[in-house]
Structure 1
Amino acid sequence: MPLKTSSDDPLQLNLTPMIDVVFLLVIFFMTATQFAQVERAIEIELPTVGAEGATAATPDQPSVITVLADGRLELNSKPIEPDELDARLRDAAIDNPDHSVLIHGDARCNFQHIASTLASCRAAGIADVGVSVETVADRGSVVR
């Protein structure tokens, strides 16, 4: 059996897949251009800000209630009486219904003091209450 040394059929390049891809790209860019024109046709007036980096309002910071080992209370690092705490929490809840409270309780205090503080938050209508604890594995971290 003799071996063929020449090829009868010349090599051909199949362009069909490349043409399909080009047509898909053309369709994509045509539709993307149409969307961009629609967005440019919408007339809106954008808000302006005073200075670079200035914000309109600062986000509400949570009130931090510290319950000391002997049961004394501090609100944002200032000593406070339990009756006054109730009134301040009510005022904060009236000013901002989404106000939050973070309670730092000393591990040596009676849990009744923490429970009373939680009851004050509930009576004031504050739903977002967190209690900070220290985990054994991660000393120094705050779990909320």
Structure 2
Amino acid sequence: MKIKTPSRDDASVDMAPMIDLVFLLLIFFMVASVVTELDKVEVAIPSSDHAKVPDDTKGRMMLSVDANGQVYSGTLPVTLEELKVLINSELDLNPDLRILIRADKLVEYKTCKELMIACGEVGATDLIYATFEE
């Protein structure tokens, strides 16, 4: 029995769906990168000669202090007492809570010290400051 197969001379790949997929991925990543930038308070991060950029900042609770000394948890403005309650509830969920502090370069050290003391009083001891490496 002889089976006749069509010749493969005219076989081609349609590139239109592949191009559509590339454009969809490009748009997705452009939108996703804009969304991740919106969840931060605008802070002028200081630079330092001895800064060590941490390998992994993912999964850290982000605290920000703007130039006026206002403390933020994420983008929510909080007082130090409210912050203690938030950190305490986060520690109940995650005992290995790590905190990233983003303080404006114009913030006095006194404000940062009060923030560190508030974190320590509820048991959060893994704190790092965001700085730019020079």
Relative to the length of structure 1, the TM-score reads: 0.50
Q: How does 1:113-132 map to 2 (within 5 A)?
A: 113-132=111-130
Distance across 2 between alignment mates of 1:133 and 1:116: 19
Distance across 1 between alignment mates of 2:115 and 2:124: 12
2:85 to 74, 84, 87: 87
1:63 equivalent in structure 2: 61
Aligned-pair distance for 1:127? 2.1
1:111 equivalent in structure 2: 109
How many residue pairs get matched? 77
Distance across 2 between alignment mates of 1:111 and 1:69: 12
Distance across 1 between alignment mates of 2:60 and 2:108: 24
Aligned-pair distance for 1:103? 0.1
Distance across 1 between alignment mates of 2:110 and 2:91: 23
Deviations 1:2-47 (A, max 9, x none): xxxxxxxxxxxxxxxxxxxxxxxxxxxxxxxxxxxxxxxxxxxxxx
Distance across 2 between alignment mates of 1:97 and 1:86: 15
**How high is the sequence identity, in percent, across the aligned residues?**
19
Q: Which amino acid aligns with 2:105?
A: A
**Which structure would you say has the larger RCO, counting Cα contacts within 8 Å and 6 or more residues apart?**
2
Distance across 2 between alignment mates of 1:90 and 1:108: 28
**Is residue 133 from structure 1 mapped to residue 134 from structure 2 by the alignment?**
no
Aligned-pair distance for 1:71? 0.7
* Structure 1, gaps ≥5 residues long: 1-59, 138-144
Relative to the length of structure 2, the TM-score reads: 0.54
- Structure exhibiting the larger radius of gyration computed from Cα positions: 1
Q: Which amino acid aligns with 2:92?
A: I
Q: Which amino acid aligns with 2:66?
A: L
Deviations 1:83-118 (A, max 9, x none): 100111111112211011100000101111111111
Distance across 1 between alignment mates of 2:79 and 2:96: 24
2:75 equivalent in structure 1: 77
SS of the counterpart of 2:82?
helix
Q: Which amino acid aligns with 1:128?
A: D
SS of the counterpart of 1:102?
strand
